């Protein structure tokens, strides 16, 4: 069993003009947003016309890309080095505004009066701003829009900070199913039930059902839902269709998923689930990026020898240089131990998924908040 | 009667809500806190609300059902035996069935409603209903009595991440869209009184990184805005600290002499004394490592200061590199106790 994975060369991926969509996914706190921005910048500086769709960037990172507000519109990023005339790329970035995106779908599918009616509905308002899964759904919707607009030849998507990395694959369909759902229709339009076989049981106990639902959620909300559903009636088919379009887009050959993980047990476990899920769904997996890997420039000195040397110094006469030596040797030993435990985790992942290519991105001493920081990360994308 | 012999920062608190940005180790800290609290001798309930089965993973047991199960025993404190830690994975639908059963004797109906997807519908469609059911279960467990005394010494909730915590706990505005009168409304009022009382605190788990620190500070500020009187913020747990970070002012980052040339020169002498003088470039490489550490330490000190300015007690927990097992949880629980968190 091999524990050396194939290298994931991100430069190859972004230099390949057939790559049109890169989806960065992984559990929370692994540096997805920063990596998505670094991939976007690197691709732009290598000649691609890139748009980066981010969901929830750190303020300073957003500012570094020229994003000062969440306005749902791609903004040009200044300071991108476009090199020679042969390969002049460009970079845009945008922050997702999920409510705005939802509103736009409504506006584009309904006549103005009906759209206004839907937008003012209290149930719609809570659905579009707080429904679990709406953010994921809207991120995918936006991705579909950007792809259809065809103004960029590469779209880099940063997935929402879900409770689980898998949420964004499931949520769009869940929301689509829900909006399109039979139960929703049954509850709000019992009269249409008619003599449909198989639903008679439900019909018989329908009074009880609505009774309980009213008790739980209140009659006002139920009325809001009823108005919402009848106003949206013509759009329902559209929701499922759109969700399916994006799902197909994600499975298309021009898409690559980059699964991002920190070299930590939880993040790698989540990455494993994600890789398995992508394989099961036939999604094009680009590979795993191990982010924030610790490396030592003095790896030739092992942790054990380093600690032994520190102990030896401790027995000597106290001096400025030996105090510094002890500190440096101890620190080095800790770094080496950390690097070893990271390697062990990486080997474990590769043993379970031997065919998944892996790239490593070294930990940066500071948080990244400018294009130079992103460039430093991008330096790890080249073949080595 | 059992009286705690030692003061902790949270005496009298019955419900500990643990939040934190994703990736900060919220579940692990919640589990360690539950163990630490159980060391006082009383049983503690540890509950999760996000359907992730994180507690089962941390304690390495089979996935938890909707049932309070014993998952661990806290270590004894001197001659007093440790209390049991029970765990519960709450999901909105089961909580709703339990609730319907309690108030309407609707057990059979509950099953039919589940089969038809009605409960799924209700908990999905009604904004805030799920949250009220989940926080409601925590409030119920925290107040539950048997034979005149509390069943649990404390309840620890592994709560949603920082970005969602205020909304999650803001029961009163959450259900404003729901029934104005009726059972859920009454239920919500009870839940709110528990959450808003000084017997409930919200702890934040952070790392010494920019985003988690920012979210922690935002989270604490948002708690003050919830409802009329706000919700009481708890401690800040700085998690996954490396040895070098825990060493603080004695850390290697402070040892640097301030310039790479001086460091390299001093290290050359030290390495020679330690018998490592043969490797020509080693001193320079170690000086690089030291400089890196000094930079990290500097930005972390600034972040640590920012967290301190929030005015809440801060606790520091070491990084566990070999994976979380029961022994590691005991170690973290001990660290929390030593720092007065339990």
Break chain B into its structural domains and give their ranges.
15-242+319-338, 249-294
Portion of chain B with pLDDT greater than 70, in percent: 87
**Over the stretch B198-229, which tens digit does the pLDDT of each residue have?**
999 999 999 998 889 999 999 999 999 887 78
Q: Is A58–B292 a contact, with Cβ atoms under 8 angstroms apart? A: no
What's the whole-number mean pLDDT along residues A250-263?
A: 93
Q: State the pLDDT confidence band at A181, using cuts at 50, 70 and 90.
A: low
Q: CB pairs below 8 Å between A and B: how many? A: 200
Tokens of A57: 């960037």
Digit-coded pLDDT (tens) for A72-109 = 889 999 899 876 555 689 999 998 888 899 898 888 88
Instruction: Write the pLDDT tens digit of every residue in B106-142.
Output: 666 666 677 666 677 677 666 678 888 899 999 999 9
Region A23-42: what's the mean pLDDT? 90
Q: Is pLDDT at B266 greater than 80 in this prediction?
A: yes
Task: Name the residue with higher pLDDT: A181 or A126.
Answer: A126
- Beta strand spans in A96-168 (E): 154-158
* B124 near A CB under 8 A: yes
Q: Identify the band that residue A167 occupies on the pLDDT scale cut at 50, 70 and 90.
A: low
User: Residue A220 and residue B267: Cβ atoms within 8 Å?
Assistant: no
In 3-state terms chain B splits into helix, strand, coil percentages (rounded to 5) of: 50, 15, 35
Q: Which two tokens stand for residue B246?
A: 């825990």
pLDDT confidence bin for A184, thresholds 50/70/90: low
Contact with chain A for residue B229, Cβ under 8 A: no
Q: What is the mean pLDDT of residues B5-15?
A: 89
- Confidence label for A180 from pLDDT (cuts 50, 70 and 90): low
Residues within 8 A of A (CB atoms), B 14-73 only? 21-25, 50, 52, 57
- At residue B301, does pLDDT exceed 80? yes
Residues in B touching A365 (Cβ below 8 Å): 292, 295-296
The reported pLDDT for the residue numbered A281 is 85
CB contact under 8 A, B113 and A30: no
Between B110 and B181, the more confident residue is B110
Which CATH code is given to the segment(s) B15-242+319-338? 3.40.50.300
A30-49: average pLDDT = 93
Query: What gap in Å lies between CA A253 and CA A284, rounded to an integer?
Result: 7
SS3 B339: coil
Is pLDDT larger for residue A198 or for residue A244? Answer: A244
pLDDT at B1 over 50: no
Chosen from A159, A217, A219, A261 to mutate, greatest number of chain B CBs within 10 A: A217
Flag whether pLDDT at A320 surpasses 60.
Answer: yes
State whether residue A207 sits within 8 Å of chain B by CB.
Answer: no
Superfamily name and number for A10-178+246-296+347-381:
P-loop containing nucleotide triphosphate hydrolases (3.40.50.300)
Taking an 8 Å cut-off on Cβ atoms, the answer to whether B210 and A330 are in contact is no
Q: Decide if B112 and A215 are in contact by the 8 Å CB cutoff.
A: no
Do B338 and B310 form a contact (C-beta atoms < 8 A)? no
Q: Does B129 touch chain A (CB under 8 A)?
A: yes
Distance CA A166, CA A157 (A): 15
Least confident span in A143-152, B64-73, B184-193: B184-193
pLDDT at B101: 78
Cβ neighbourhood burial of A236 (10 Å; 0-12, 13-18, 19+): middle
**CB-based burial, A150-162: b 16+ in 10 Å, e otherwise:** eebbbbbbbbbbb
CB-closest option in B121, B178, B274 to A313? B274
Chain B environment of A213 (Cβ under 8 Å) = 118, 121-122
Q: What is the ipTM, given to two decimal places?
A: 0.78
pLDDT value for B177: 55
Position B288 pLDDT exceeds 60: yes
Chain A hits for B212, Cβ within 8 Å: 29
Better-predicted residue by pLDDT, A16 or A82: A16
Break chain A into its structural domains and give their ranges: 10-178+246-296+347-381, 303-342
pLDDT(A197) > 50: no
d(CA A361, CA A26): 15
B266 with A325: Cβ contact below 8 A: yes
Q: In this predicted structure, what is the pLDDT of residue A193?
A: 42
pLDDT of residue B157 exceeding 70: yes
Q: Are A256 and A23 a contacting pair, CB within 8 Å? A: yes
Most confident of A169-173, A203-207, A259-263, B244-248: A259-263
The whole-number pLDDT of residue A12 equals 95
**Would you say B21 and A28 are in contact if contact means Cβ atoms under 8 Å apart?**
yes
Please give the pLDDT value at position A2.
59
DSSP conformational letter for A193: G
B residues 137..156 contacting A (CB < 8 A): none
Residue A364, pLDDT > 80, answer yes
- Cα distance from A252 to chain B (closest Cα, Å)? 30
CA distances from A232 to A113, A183, A224, A226 (A): 12, 15, 12, 10
Structure-block tokens of residue A345: 């985790």
């Amino acid at each position: 069993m091999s524990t050396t994975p194939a290298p994931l060369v991100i430069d190859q991926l972004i230099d390949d003009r057939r790559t049109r969509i890169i989806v960065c996914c992984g559990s929370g706190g692994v540096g997805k947003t920063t990596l998505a921005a670094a991939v976007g910048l690197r691709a732009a500086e290598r000649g691609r016309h890139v748009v980066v769709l981010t969901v929830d960037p750190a303020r300073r990172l957003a500012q570094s890309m020229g994003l000062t507000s969440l306005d749902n519109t791609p903004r040009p990023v200044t300071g991108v080095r476009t090199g020679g005339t042969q390969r002049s790329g460009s970079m845009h970035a945008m922050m997702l505004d999920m409510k705005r995106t939802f509103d736009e779908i409504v506006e584009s599918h309904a006549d103005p009066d009906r759209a206004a009616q839907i937008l003012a509905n209290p149930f719609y308002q809570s659905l579009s701003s707080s429904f679990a899964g709406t953010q994921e759904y809207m991120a995918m919707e936006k991705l579909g829009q950007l792809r259809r607009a065809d103004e960029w030849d590469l779209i880099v998507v940063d997935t929402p900070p879900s409770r689980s990395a898998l949420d964004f694959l499931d949520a769009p369909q869940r929301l689509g199913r829900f909006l399109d759902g039979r139960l929703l229709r049954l509850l709000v339009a019992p009269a249409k039930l008619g003599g449909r076989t198989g639903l008679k049981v439900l019909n018989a106990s329908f009074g009880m059902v609505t009774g309980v639902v009213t008790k739980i959620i209140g009659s006002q909300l139920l009325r809001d839902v009823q108005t919402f559903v009848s106003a949206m009636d013509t759009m329902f088919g559209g929701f499922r269709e759109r969700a399916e379009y994006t799902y197909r887009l994600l499975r298309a050959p021009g898409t690559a998923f980059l699964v991002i993980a920190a070299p930590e047990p939880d993040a790698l476990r989540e990455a494993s689930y994600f890789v398995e899920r992508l394989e099961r769904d036939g999604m094009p997996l680009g590979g795993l990026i191990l982010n924030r890997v610790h490396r030592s420039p003095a790896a030739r000195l092992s942790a054990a020898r380093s600690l032994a040397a520190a102990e030896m110094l401790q027995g000597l006469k106290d001096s400025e240089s030996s105090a510094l030596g002890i500190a440096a040797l101890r620190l080095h030993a800790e770094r080496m131990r950390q690097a070893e435990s990271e390697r062990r985790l990486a080997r474990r992942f590769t043993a379970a998924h031997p065919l998944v290519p892996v790239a490593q991105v070294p930990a940066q001493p500071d948080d990244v908040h400018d294009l130079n920081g992103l460039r430093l990360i991008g330096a790890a994308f080249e073949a080595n | 009667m059992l009286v705690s012999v030692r003061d902790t920062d949270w005496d009298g608190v019955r419900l500990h809500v643990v939040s934190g940005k994703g990736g900060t180790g919220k579940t692990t800290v919640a589990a360690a806190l539950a163990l630490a609290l159980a060391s006082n001798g009383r049983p503690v309930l540890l509950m999760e609300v996000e359907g992730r089965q994180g507690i089962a993973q941390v304690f390495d047991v089979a996935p938890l059902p909707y049932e309070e199960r014993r998952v661990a025993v806290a270590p004894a404190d001197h001659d007093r035996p440790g209390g049991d830690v029970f765990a519960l994975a709450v999901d909105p639908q089961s909580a709703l069935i339990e609730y319907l059963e309690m108030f309407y004797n609707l057990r059979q109906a509950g099953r039919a409603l589940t089969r038809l997807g009605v409960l799924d519908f209700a908990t999905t469609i009604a904004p805030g209903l799920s949250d009220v059911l989940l926080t409601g279960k925590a409030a119920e467990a925290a107040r539950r009595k048997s034979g005149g005394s509390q069943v649990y010494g404390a309840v620890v909730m592994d709560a949603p991440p920082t970005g969602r915590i205020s909304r999650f706990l803001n029961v009163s505005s959450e259900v404003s869209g729901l029934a104005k009168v009726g059972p859920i409304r009454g239920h919500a009022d009870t839940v709110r009184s528990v959450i808003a009382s000084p017997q409930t605190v919200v702890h934040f788990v952070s790392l010494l990184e920019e985003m988690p620190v920012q979210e922690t500070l935002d989270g604490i500020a948002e708690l003050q805005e919830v409802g009329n009187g706000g919700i009481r913020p708890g401690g800040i747990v700085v998690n996954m600290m490396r040895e070098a970070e825990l060493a603080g002012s004695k850390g290697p980052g402070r040892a640097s002499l301030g310039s790479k040339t001086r460091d390299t020169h001093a290290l050359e002498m030290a390495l020679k004394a330690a018998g490592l003088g043969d490797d020509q470039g080693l001193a320079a490489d170690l000086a690089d490592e030291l400089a890196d550490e000094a930079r990290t330490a500097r930005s972390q000190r600034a972040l640590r200061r920012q967290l301190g300015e929030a005015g809440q007690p801060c606790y520091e927990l070491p990084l566990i590199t070999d994976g979380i097992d029961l022994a590691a949880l005991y170690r973290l629980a001990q660290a929390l106790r030593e720092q007065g968190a339990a």
